[in-house]
Structures are given as C-alpha cells and as structure tokens.
Structure 1
Amino acid sequence: MTWMIYGAYGYTGELVANYAKSQGQEPVLAGRNEKKLKAVAERLELPYEVVNLDDTVALRQALGEMDLVVHCAGPFEVTAEPMIDSCIATRTHYLDITGELAVFEYAHSKDEEAKRAGIVICPGVGFDVIPTDCIAAQLKQQLPDANHLTLGFDSASRMSRGTAKTSVRRLGEGGAVRREGKIETVPLAYKTREIDFGNGEKFAMTIPWGDVSTAYYTTGIPSIEVFIPASPNLVKKLQRLNKFRWLLRFEWVKKWLEKKIEEQPAGPDEKQLEEAFTYVWGEAKNAQGDVVTLREKVMNGYKLTSQGAVDIAQHVLAEKPEGGYYTPAKLCGADLIERYRVS
C-alpha cells in the first residue's frame, strides 16, 4: 500500500516522517517547498514529491497514486478543504493532525461523499484528539445516559509554531462549547473552575478544542466543554480581549501575529518530547446527577501525534474500514489510548 505524508518538513510533519521510518514504513513525503522537502527526504532516505495544494490538477494526480494521505500542513482552516475534496475525487483515505473545530465540522459534512467514494475521512489523528476522544468514549461506556461531558488536559510542553499560529488565528472567533447538540460561540475564557487533571488541582478555563466537535460524534452527548489550566491573570487578559476580538479577525493582524511566532523555536526540544508528559481528564454527568471521572497520563502531545498518525494510517490500510467520517475512537476503539499511556 502506498501512502503520503503531506507537509513532511514542518515540525510535526517531520516527527511523523521520522516515526514512520523507524517503523520500517516508506511513505512518500510531500509538500510545496522543494528545498525543505528534499532535505528531510534525503536524511530519511524516503521518496518525495513536490506538490502545491493550490494546483488542483497536480494534487489529484499525485493523490491518484496513493491509497492514503496523512495531512500535516496547516493552518488546516486553509489547507484541509482542498486536500479533503481531492481525496474524495481520487478515492484516497484522508487523515490529518488538526485540532481546528471548523475542519472537524467540514470533514463531518463530507461523510456521505466519503461513503460513496469508499474512503475514510478521519481528522485529528494526533494529540488532537486521540486521548481526549478515547476518554470521551470510555466515559460514555461507563455512563450511557450522560447528557454533559467535560474534558481537559494539562501539558507543560512548548507549542510548535504551527499550533501557536492556529491558536492566534482562532482568537478573533472567540471560544466554543456545545449545547444541546449545537456548537455555540462564546467569549474567550468563557468559564473557569478548579480541576485535578491528574497532577493536583489547578485553576482552568474553557478553550475551543476539537472535542467540542468530535466528542459529540463519538458519544452523542449533547453538551460538551473542554478546559486547560490557566493563571487567573491570563484569564483576565483574555476576558478583556473579548472587547477587541473583531480586530483579531483581520487577516493582516493574523499575519502580524504569525510573523512574531516565527521568531520562536520550532517546537519542543528532545528533552521535552521525552519528559513533558500530558495529563488528560474527563467527567460525564447525567440528568440524575451521577458523575463519572477518568484520568490518564500520556506521552508528550507531539510525540503522541507522531506515533498516532502512523498507527492510524497503518490501521486503515490493514483493516480497510467502510468509507465515511470517523473520529479516532470510532475508527480504532476507545482502548487506542493505551498505546500512549505512560506510568
């Protein structure tokens, strides 16, 4: 089976390519920057192909020779649509490492087209959203009549440039929660509470994480919120920023913020990848007031992404699931998280 890693020279894309090579896989590496792509491909002794997402004809020609693509080139709000549409046209399985709400919703809207094409569409095959999706699925199993789901995670790891860029692009849109099955836009730092993610109780705030979309399709639970730790000072700053969110929607402001991010390190260093673990937490409630809580400690989010993307790619190629939209837990089962658990 022939598969592709698109965006293989980005911070996370290169981690995915490294792990694939270490597992004896030989994916085709792809992207639009030939110099950067060639450097990674030669180091890993893997084939490569220069392809620009803006060139639909060339993209579909390249995908036509692939059984599956792992899409790693963000911002996915810009890049996912042309890649998904081309995968449907060429009958190529689509996976990506996004955490962006709009991308999950767009991918879900392509469910019927994916079924007709006989391909899997499964965004979020990394830290966004494997561990939280598996926690959500396990909570649903333990409390089948749950009507409210709260998820969260705590990581000391540095963000990659790509993740940081995605975050600032999203700021102007505000936060997001799901209420009675519908995604609602809410202010930044909409809610706060104290949560023990697994390493002691911490002050936390809501964020518009991908599970606001995916956990609903995994569990059917109609109300969903996601939290991360945050200092009271950061929460106050974000809440004040709500008055100026309109300014952050301008493309020139986004570009300015992205340029500032380019001055930062590419992502976590080797020490952080090995030692900065992530604590994942979830809580389900039903109408009677019953509560079930789960906690897991998993590997660094970027390391998890590198392994999860390859693991799920191999699962799809080997198991040949029926076509359609999937979440990671729906595709591989709620016990997928066990591969990435640390003691």
Structure 2
Amino acid sequence: MRFMIYGAYGYTGKLIAQHAKKMGYTPVLAGRSKAKVQQLAERLELPWQAFALDNHDDVVEALTDISLVINCAGPFSATAPPMIQACISARVHYLDITGELDTFEYAHSQHQQAKEAGIVLCPGVGFDVIPTDCVAARLNALMPNAVSLKLGFDSRSSMSQGTAKTSVERLAIGGAVREDGVIKNVPLAYKAETIDFGDGEKYAMTIPWGDVATAYYTTEIPNIEVYIPASPTLVKRLRRLNWFRWLLAFKPVQNWMKKKVEQQPAGPDEKQREKNPTYVWGEISNAKGETETLRVKVKNGYTLTAYGAVDICQFVLHHTPEGGYYTPSRLYGAKLLDKYIV
C-alpha cells in the first residue's frame, strides 16, 4: 500500500516526509518541480515523481499503484480540486493539510462521488484542523443539545511561508463564522473578547479558520466561531482595514505582500517548534445558556501536522473506512487528540 506526499519539498511537506521516513515508511515524494523533488528524494533515499496538476489524465496515470495521497501543495484552492478529481478517478484515498474554508467545502461537496469510488476524502489532517476538531467532538459529546460552539488556539510559533501566503489571499475576503448552519463572510476582526486558552487570559479575535466548515460536519452545531489572541491595537487596525479591504484583492498588491512573506524564514526550526507548544480551547453552549469548556496543550502546530498526516494516512490504509468525506475526528475518533497532548 504505497502512499504519496505531493508538494513534498515545501516546508511542511518536508516535515511530513522526514517523519514518515523516520517511522520506517517509504512514501513516494512528488511535486511540480522535478529538480526540487528529486533533490529531496535523493537526500531521504525515497522514490519520487514529478508532475503538474494541469492535465487530469496525466495525474491519474501518476497515481498508478498509489493507494493514498497526502496533498501538501498550496494554495489548496488551486491544487485540491484537480487532485481530488484524479483520486476519485484512480480510486485513491485523499488527505491534505489545508486550512482553507473553500477547500473543505469543495471536498464535502464530493462526498457522494468519493463514496461511490470507495475512497476517503479527509482534508485538514494537520494542525488545521485535528486538535480543534477533536475538541469540538469531545465537547459535543458532553452537550449533545448545543447550539453554539467557540473554538480557539494560542501559539507563539511563527508561520511558515505557505501559511502566511494563504492568510494574505484571505485578507481581501475578510473573516468567516457560521450562523444558523450557513458560513457567513464577515469583516476582519468581526468579534473580540477576552479568553483563557490555557495560558492565561488574552484579548482575542475571530478568524476564518477551517473549523467554521469542519466543526459543523463533526457536530452539526449551527453557530461556530474560531478565535486567536490579538492585541487591541491589531484588532483596531484590522477593523480599519475593512474599509480598504477591496484593494487587497488586486494582483499587484497580492504579489507585493507575498514577496514580503518570501523574505521571511521558511518556517520555525526544530528548536523553535519544541519550545512553542499550542494551547487549544473550546466552549460549547445550549439554548438554556449552559456551557462546557475544554482546554488542552498540544505539540507545536507544524510538528503536529507532520505526525497527524502520517498517523491518519496509516489509519486509512490499515482500516479501509467506507468511502466518502470525513473530518479527522469523524474518521479516526476524538481519541486522536490524545496522541498530541503535551
């Protein structure tokens, strides 16, 4: 049962490839750039392929003898649809590490096709969204009649270039929450409140995190918000930016912001990841105003992504779940969270 890591030479893709190798697996490393994927594969002594996602038949052919793909190539709005379609045609399980709302929604829309093909579609098998999804599942078990769910996380870890570029692309769209079962685009820093994520109270704001999509499919709770710490100054700046947000959609502005991102380190190094775990928080409430709260401390987000992607990959390959769309906790169970608590 061979599996492929596509986009293996990106920052997070490398972490996943290195962890898979350390665990004794021999994934096929793949990506668009022949030079980059070959260099990494030779260093790790792993098999490799180079191919783009432009031609459906070519991608299907590249998946011959592959049982599962872990897509690490962003932006996932561009790579997920063609790879998912190829996986459905080739009957190959699909995982990715996205945090993009539209990608989760697209994958969910392909549930029936995946079910008929007998393959698993499970985007978000990294920090986006394993820990928050499992917290949502556990809270829902405590309060099955909940109508509102708030999730959040506190991390001092720096972003990878890929995560930062995705954030840049999202700025022009704004934030997102789920209201009455529907994803609603809202202004940046739409809501703000003081939250104890597990490391003391901090001012926090809403963000368009993946759980706005996935937590609904895990819990069916109709109202969902996700928060991260943010200074009052940053919240004010983002709220002012809403007046000019439309400018951020222009390609020259996007290109300028992404070039600034490329001047930063590829992502946190090993020592930084070890020093910076992540605090995850969730609060659930019902129509009576009763609440339940859960806080956990987990591994650094990028380390968790490397572990989580490989763990879920092996779970799918060895348990052959029924085909269709899944969230991480629906696929593996909320017990998955226990593997990453520190």
TM-score range, shorter chain: over 0.9
- Output aligned runs, 1:1-343, within 5 Å: 1-342=1-342
Distance 1:124 1:132 in 2: 11
Q: In terms of mean alpha carbon deviation, does 238-247 or 152-161 score higher?
A: 238-247
Displacement, 1:64?
2.8
- Please list every run of 5 or more consecutive structure 2 residues that lacks an aligned counterpart in the other structure: none
Percent of aligned pairs with the same amino acid: 64
SS at match of 1:159: coil
Distance 2:122 2:57 in 1: 23
Distance 1:243 1:300 in 2: 34
SS at match of 2:60: helix
1:256-297 Cα offsets, whole Å, 9 max, x none, are 211111110000011111110000000000001110000000
Q: Is the 8 A contact 1:3 1:27 kept in 2?
A: yes
SS at match of 1:194: strand
SS at match of 1:30: strand
Q: Is the 8 A contact 1:64 1:92 kept in 2?
A: no
Distance 1:114 1:338 in 2: 29
Q: In terms of mean alpha carbon deviation, does 135-144 or 267-276 score higher?
A: 267-276
Tell me the amino acid that sits aligned with residue 154 of structure 1.
Answer: D
SS at match of 2:81: helix
Distance 1:250 1:135 in 2: 37
Distance 1:123 1:89 in 2: 18
TM-score (norm 1): 0.99
Distance 1:95 1:251 in 2: 30
Tell me the amino acid that sits aligned with residue 251 of structure 2.
Answer: E
Distance 1:30 1:250 in 2: 31
Q: In terms of mean alpha carbon deviation, does 30-39 or 15-24 score higher?
A: 30-39
Matched residue count: 342
1:1-59 Cα offsets, whole Å, 9 max, x none, are 01100000000000000000000000100001111111110111000000111132221
Q: Is the 8 A contact 1:119 1:322 kept in 2?
A: yes
SS at match of 2:195: strand
Distance 2:307 2:52 in 1: 26
Distance 2:334 2:257 in 1: 37
Q: Is the 8 A contact 1:8 1:29 kept in 2?
A: yes
Alignment RMSD, CA only?
A: 0.7
Displacement, 1:254?
1.6
Displacement, 1:252?
2.9
Distance 1:219 1:272 in 2: 34
